[in-house]
Amino acid sequence: MNKRTESRSIVIIGGGLGGLAVGSYLLMNGFRTHILEQANQCGGVAVTWDRKGYRFDGATNYLPGSSPALNAHNIIGEIIDLHKLRFYDYPEFIRIEHEGEVFRVYTDAERLRKEMLRIAPEDRKVIDEFIGAVKRFGAFNLPFEKAPETFTVIDALSFLAKNFPLLMFRQKWGTISVERYARRFRNRAMRAMFQQIFPHHEHFAVMAPIAPLGWMNRKVAGYPLGGSLKIIELMEERYRSLGGTIEFFKPVKQINVKDGAATGVTCDDDRVYDADIVVSAADLHETLFELLGGAFTPRGFVKRFESYHPFSSLVQVSLGIKRTFDGEAEKLNMPLDKPLHMGNHTARDMMVRILNFDPVYAPTGKTSVIVQLRTEDCDYWCALRNEDRNRYNQEKQHVAEVVTESLERRFAGVRKNVEVVDVATPATYVRYTRLWKGAHQGWAPTPGVIGRPQPKTLPGLRNFYLTGQWESPAGGIPAVIAVGRQVAQIICKREGKRFRGSVEGKGK
């Protein structure tokens, strides 16, 4: 092993899944890593919490790569001990209830075709085309094993040859929005409900819903039993077992730079951590404009903040309910009883996750239910919390009441069985993770953005790297693992080392 690089020390900002992933890959390659996390635990946006016997988890719905049939499985397996995970395959991706009609979005593509034809027999041509795309996408491997920044000419040519069908697919399905594609349906109900497969994400490229439907049809994107907490525990276990260290309650306030190179970081408590290399796995906007003070933000990045669309923010009402929901879909989108005005945003429907398929969430006979309302007005909640805490709390209570009333109408008797209510707002997300605009999965996969590689280094700043969900639009667990892998590959290449994706020394 190269002695010079063996002792290179790396500070990683952020102990979300992105920080843990890049840390593990760097440790496998002989670097020393130390994670500084501002919160009291790892996990970032995938955080899970317990209240009175109920567990609330708003994140992990499914893990692409749950089966070896998808190449992501091998990569995830480098960072997560998959032998310790069991998976559940949903029969329905989501059930949409809209103006008296019900659309069951089955994960089996042929059942889905029949369901769409039941609702919109006049749209057979569009339905057949869409189902064909779902089936085709499921067969693709994901082209993220190697960082494009480390490609030789031969690598680039073989990448193009190997992934040509996927690139063509992306050219067609990754450049048209869900909303525009939905206009092809003549049936009014189908046109509306198609846009709710990902509720309120009609500006996404239509490839965004095609991807999970394609994977689920092939049964390669199951839900990991134990949810986000299990994933965080396994990733933290992997990182620590490789010798990585973590400090909590350590908000970084500045990335230190000398002569055009990062030299370490300074935390809020003024403690300085010197390092040979700094990797930021924290929010992108915070990294560029706060920690680096905007000094190394090339025009391309500024343009992204002007033209890309971040994910919406979330208001999450978590309910502990003393009853079961047998026979109900695991996820449904349903109307609210009355519109909820939240600043400049009005919510008219809500997404409900009934976590009755995993025993970790509630004792027998009880159910943890997560309701999510999407909003583009994160600033409203942050300002309200800062300026008027009483009104902020009243607003949270009002949201919880409207949500509970709406659930009562749909599931008679729910109200009297509610044992726990917990409301998180975009201000909660910002406080716990420092996310820009509360964008819970970074850049949205809008037309033309989906699959586009994002720069992991900044011009004029040596020894500094970016990783995490903002580096791969749409985010996701496999994405942050893959980006961490690619950042480690780039660092290895620059340090003259051969990258290893395992500790056993098998080069991958």
Ligand X SMILES: Cc1cc2nc3c(=O)[nH]c(=O)nc-3n(C[C@H](O)[C@H](O)[C@H](O)COP(=O)(O)OP(=O)(O)OC[C@H]3O[C@@H](n4cnc5c(N)ncnc54)[C@H](O)[C@@H]3O)c2cc1C
Q: Which residues bind ligand X (CB under 6 A)?
A: 13-19, 36-39, 44-46, 58-63, 251-252, 281-283, 286, 433-435, 440-441, 468-469, 475-477, 480
Q: Which is nearer to ligand X, 119 or 474 (CB)?
A: 474
**Rounded to a whole number, what is the distance in angstroms from the first to the last CA of the chain?**
17
For the chain, how big is the Rg over CA atoms in Å?
Answer: 23
Strand, helix or coil for residue 368 = strand
Q: How far is the CB of 322 from ligand X (least distance, A)?
A: 25
Strand, helix or coil for residue 153 = helix
| Helix (H) or strand (E) run with residue 320 in it | strand 313-321
Q: How far is the CB of 323 from ligand X (least distance, A)?
A: 24
What span, in angstroms and rounded, lies between the C-alpha atoms of 347 and 341?
7
Strand, helix or coil for residue 464 = strand
Task: Tell me, letter by letter, the H, E, C secondary structure of 428-452.
Answer: HHHHHHCCHHHCCCCECCCCCCCCC
In DSSP terms, 280 is beta-bridged to: 13, 466
Q: How far is the CB of 315 from ligand X (least distance, A)?
A: 11
Q: How far is the CB of 42 from ligand X (least distance, A)?
A: 7
Q: How far is the CB of 158 from ligand X (least distance, A)?
A: 28
Q: How far is the CB of 132 from ligand X (least distance, A)?
A: 25
Q: Which is nearer to ligand X, 185 or 215 (CB)?
A: 215
162 token code pair: 């190997």
Q: Which is nearer to ligand X, 185 or 198 (CB)?
A: 198
Q: Which is nearer to ligand X, 17 or 288 (CB)?
A: 17
What span, in angstroms and rounded, lies between the C-alpha atoms of 244 and 20?
9
Provide the pairing of β-strand 367-375 with 345-354.
antiparallel
334 token code pair: 């349903």
Residue with tokens 């390659």: 29
Q: Which is nearer to ligand X, 41 or 175 (CB)?
A: 41
Q: Which is nearer to ligand X, 440 or 456 (CB)?
A: 440
Q: How far is the CB of 221 from ligand X (least distance, A)?
A: 8
Q: Which is nearer to ligand X, 15 or 310 (CB)?
A: 15
